[in-house]
């Protein structure tokens, strides 16, 4: 084992990646710690899937380094990947097998496979082991693929758009079952999703990526506390708001405006005094409000969105 902190699961240093003339990742520095649920968010094409592929050793570093459990996942895949569970958005699982055969097949690769846990998940999802995978609905396929990814109790679980194309109930069941079980046992989860309410509900920590660069990397709680949504009122009609320090996004007209800001409410109130404005109310911003203010509008909030395709 290389010399690395026992609490650090993934260490990425100065990772850059180009595809032709396109910068897919630019000087990424990132550490994932044990027992934390990380939500990876970004617009389509931001670099989420490219980052995940480097962690899984599916892409070789062009510059910089990636270490997973202290190992290079490209040079020593068996040492790194034995500890990882992975669910891709495509959920490629063999159609010709039954659910039970698929579980046996995955079991053969992982000595740590937990038969009781696999059975418990099959029951939770009401799946019949004798059913052929080719006859399953999209939601059931996702559930089976998920059991394959988590029943060996991996130390790191990587989920790339796990909810893509699933209805809300299946989505909730799957993610709750997995994320909580894994993180409560001191394991680490990295999941990429375009459904920001989902990331907000399940994550401890958010990594926001935009055009190949990390825009934010901090605990969800701090993110909400450092961004606010405030309602402003002015004595005079305003056609547009003047620039106010810390304000990221404004909406409104006339005398009444809403702003998303990274300044404190006190700083904002002080800035408003010179503009004959007052702060009417303020609250912590949601992840979606922060994302839209920082990155721009979401492509889609529907579960049928193409998710991280090609990112």
Pair 72, 176 in one domain: yes
pLDDT tens digit string along 281-309? 999 999 999 999 998 765 443 333 333 33
Same domain, 177 and 241: no
Q: Does residue 68 sit in the same domain as residue 145?
A: yes
Question: Per residue in 246-271, pLDDT tens?
Answer: 999 999 999 999 999 999 999 999 99
* Residues in Cβ contact with 197 at an 8 Å cutoff, skipping those fewer than 6 apart: 286, 287, 288
Quote the pLDDT of residue 80: 85
- Among 191, 220, 249, the domain-final residue is 220
Would you say residue 78 has pLDDT above 50? Answer: yes
- Paired with 232 in beta bridges are 257, 279
Domain that holds residue 252: 228-284
What number is the average pLDDT over the span 211-225? 93
Whether residue 30 contacts residue 12, with contact meaning beta carbons closer than 8 Å, is answered with: yes
Same domain (yes/no): 92, 48: yes
The band of 5, judged by pLDDT with boundaries at 50, 70 and 90, is low
Count structural domains, the chain. Answer: 2
pTM score over 0.75:
yes
Task: Give the residue from 181, 198, 220 where a domain finishes.
Answer: 220
Same domain (yes/no): 250, 148: no
Residue 111 φ/ψ region, left for φ over 0, alpha for ψ in the -120 to 50 degree band, beta for the rest: alpha
Q: Which two tokens stand for residue 150?
A: 């988590």
CB-neighbour burial class of residue 289 (10 A; exposed 0-12, middle 13-18, buried 19+):
buried
In this structure, the answer to whether residues 184 and 271 fall within a common structural domain is: no
* Average pLDDT, integer, range 170-174: 79
Is pLDDT at 54 greater than 90 in this prediction? yes
Residue 53 within any structural domain of the chain: yes
Residues 127 and 48 in one domain: yes
> Do strands 8-19 and 22-33 pair parallel, antiparallel, or not at all (unpaired)?
antiparallel
């Amino acid at each position: 084992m290389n010399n690395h902190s026992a609490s650090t699961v993934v260490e990425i240093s100065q990772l850059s990646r180009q595809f032709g003339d396109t910068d897919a990742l630019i000087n990424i520095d990132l550490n994932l710690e044990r027992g934390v649920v990380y939500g990876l968010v970004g617009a389509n094409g931001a670099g989420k899937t490219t980052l995940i592929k480097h962690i899984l050793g599916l892409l070789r570093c062009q510059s910089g380094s990636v270490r997973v459990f202290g190992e290079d996942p490209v040079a020593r895949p068996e040492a790194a990947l034995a500890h990882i569970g992975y669910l891709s958005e495509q959920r490629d699982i063999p159609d010709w097998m039954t659910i039970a055969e698929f579980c046996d097949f995955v079991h053969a690769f992982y000595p740590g496979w937990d038969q009781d846990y696999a059975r418990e998940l099959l029951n939770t999802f009401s799946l019949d082991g004798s059913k052929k995978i080719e006859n399953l609905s999209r939601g059931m396929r996702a559930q089976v693929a998920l059991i394959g990814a988590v029943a060996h109790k991996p130390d790191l679980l990587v989920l790339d758009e796990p909810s893509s194309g699933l209805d809300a109930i299946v989505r909730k069941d799957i993610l709750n079952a997995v994320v909580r079980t894994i993180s409560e046992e001191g394991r680490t989860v990295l999941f990429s999703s375009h459904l920001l309410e989902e990331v907000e509900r399940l994550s401890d920590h958010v990594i926001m990526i935009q055009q190949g660069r990390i825009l934010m990397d901090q605990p969800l709680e701090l993110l909400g506390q450092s961004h606010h949504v405030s309602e402003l009122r002015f004595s005079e009609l305003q056609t547009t708001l003047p620039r106010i320090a810390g304000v990221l996004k404004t909406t409104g007209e006339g005398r009444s405006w809403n702003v998303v800001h990274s300044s404190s409410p006190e700083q904002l109130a002080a800035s408003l005094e010179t503009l004959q404005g007052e702060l009417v109310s303020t609250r912590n911003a949601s992840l979606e409000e922060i994302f839209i203010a920082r990155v721009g509008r979401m492509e889609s909030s529907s579960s049928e969105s193409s998710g991280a395709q090609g990112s």
